[in-house]
Amino acid sequence: MQNIYYEVGSLDKRCYEQFALSEDLLMEHAALALEKEITKTFDKNSSVLIVSGMGNNGADGIALARLLYKTYDVKLYIPFELKSPMAKLQLKRAQLLGVNLINELQECDIVVDSLFGSGLKRDLNEASQKIIETLNSYNSYKIACDIPTGIDFKGDISTLAFFADVTVTMGALKTSLFTDTAKDYVGEIVVANLGVQREVYETKTDLFLLEKEDLKLPLRDKKNAHKGTFGHLNVVIGSKKGAGVIAAKAAFGFGAGLVSVICHECVDLPYHIMQTHNLSENCTAIALGMGLGIYDEKEIENILQSKLPTIIDADLFYEDIIKIALQKEVVLTPHPKEFCALLNVCELADIKVKELQKNRFKYVEMFCKKYPKVVLLLKGANVLIAQNEKIFVNTFGSAVLSKGGSGDVLGGLVGSLLAQGYKPLDAAISASLAHAIAASNYKKNNYSLIPSDLVEEVKRL
């Protein structure tokens, strides 16, 4: 797990005030990290186009030009008059060495975007948009300094943005790199140490980036075990029966000892999944909401009042009845549209998906403040998993998963881990990671995955 921050300006300030480091020293390390990204892959004499803006992001790029000068074929392009004192100083240094400025953009082996960084305020003006468009059209290896130009501090893009292969981000990870909008632009993210190790630079945070190591599979280490050792999940089947059946199959494949569906009608099930009319006596967790459709209010009310660990998905996010469960440690797995409905039901906000997607962290925080026991898993290109004040980001997901039924598999995986005794937050984290990593291991075309393929990949993790 790695730390994430809303902003790192205060961490830079701490370096100056507590460790007597200077802005110049931090910047030199920023430039060194960019240099390392180039020298590790590209031979000497490769051509490098550096596009520098008027602020300190530009200054990082100019310092890089000095570091590469004479070993690489450096072309420094500065389209606007420099504003920041550090950018002016870096240019003076570079020019004293003999670094020449170029007057128009040229395609090179490598492009470094240091046009705007964390200081981007307004929409990009036309000239900047034209530059980014041209850089994006190049076949070069593209490196973004700190953050791709065009992504603002909230992670939003108002006009267009630089498509990076790698983003060398300064000091620590920032939330702006992990919005759904930013996902297609940031490429691989590398953190640059700014003169001290990250554990010194970083302070306490409640935001975390999940890593593969955070996935805790329900591997069985006990030899003296029977099916009851691994729990019994009950999946409530609704009027769209398929959703619950997909969830039940996924749960069985992810280790639940027993899985039953609660259904009053005839339903086509594999032999290993049982059917019941009421909660099973030895039930250890419940999954409901997926494909629920029209439902019997009394029955759902009873189930929501149960003290058993519960995962709630889909249709229930539109219903007032869900509030019964929100004072408990339930796991909720809405997609953005469902989360907007839930915010409305809970009288927290009346917003559309577009507004939510621009401010995912804000609305997740708002919800968790009101319902601190609930574990919220907000689906998206980057999944946010939150409880109380903590938010965990899962970036392993991909478009392979953009299919009907993927969410039902996830619901089943969460339910399976709940049934096996995982704490709700741990169940949500490990199920989400298993779901996304399994999909990324899928070898066929990225348009072809069906729920049973996903479950097969989960079995191979």
Q: Which residues are annotated as part of the binding site for K(+)? A: 57, 113, 149
**How is residue 82 written in tokens?**
């420099």
Span of 22-30, 77-85, 149-157, 429-437 interacting with K ion by CB under 5 A:
149-157
Rounded CA-CA distance 63/89 in Å is: 9
The conformation of residue 403, written as its DSSP 8-state character, comes to: S
Q: In this chain, which of 34, 51, 58, 246 binds ligand NAX, going by CB under 6 A?
A: 58
Span of 114-122, 245-253, 331-339, 344-352 interacting with ligand NAX by CB under 6 A:
114-122
State the minimum distance, in angstroms, from the CB of residue 58 to ligand NAX: 6
What is the H or E stretch that residue 123 is in?
none
Q: Which amino acid is present at 33?
A: A
Strand order in the sheet with 110-114: 73-77, 47-52, 110-114, 141-145, 166-170, 188-192
Note whether 387 binds K ion by CB under 5 A.
Answer: no
Note whether 23 binds ligand NAX by CB under 6 A.
Answer: yes
Cα separation values, 447 from 189, 238, 399, 433, 444, Å: 26, 28, 8, 20, 8
**For residue 311, what are the β-bridge partners?**
287, 331
Span of 51-59, 267-275, 287-295, 351-359 interacting with ligand NAX by CB under 6 A:
51-59
Termini Cα distance of the chain: 19
What is the H or E stretch that residue 455 is in?
helix 451-459
State the minimum distance, in angstroms, from the CB of residue 306 to ligand NAX: 50
Complex with ligand NAX: residue 12 or 35, whichever CB lies closer: 12
Note whether 113 binds K ion by CB under 5 A.
Answer: yes
State the minimum distance, in angstroms, from the CB of residue 424 to ligand NAX: 38
Note whether 178 binds ligand NAX by CB under 6 A.
Answer: no
Note whether 112 binds ligand NAX by CB under 6 A.
Answer: no
Cα separation values, 26 from 54, 152, 170, Å: 18, 22, 9
State the minimum distance, in angstroms, from the CB of residue 119 to ligand NAX: 2
**For residue 174, what are the β-bridge partners?**
5
Note whether 149 binds K ion by CB under 5 A.
Answer: yes
Q: Please report, as residue ranges, which positions from 66 to 85 form the binding site for ligand NAX (by CB under 6 A).
A: 83-84
CA angle 318, 274, 312 (to 5 degrees): 20
State the minimum distance, in angstroms, from the CB of residue 75 to ligand NAX: 20
Question: Which residues lie near ligand NAX (CB under 6 A)?
Answer: 12, 23, 26-27, 30, 53-58, 60, 83-84, 116-125, 145-146, 170, 194
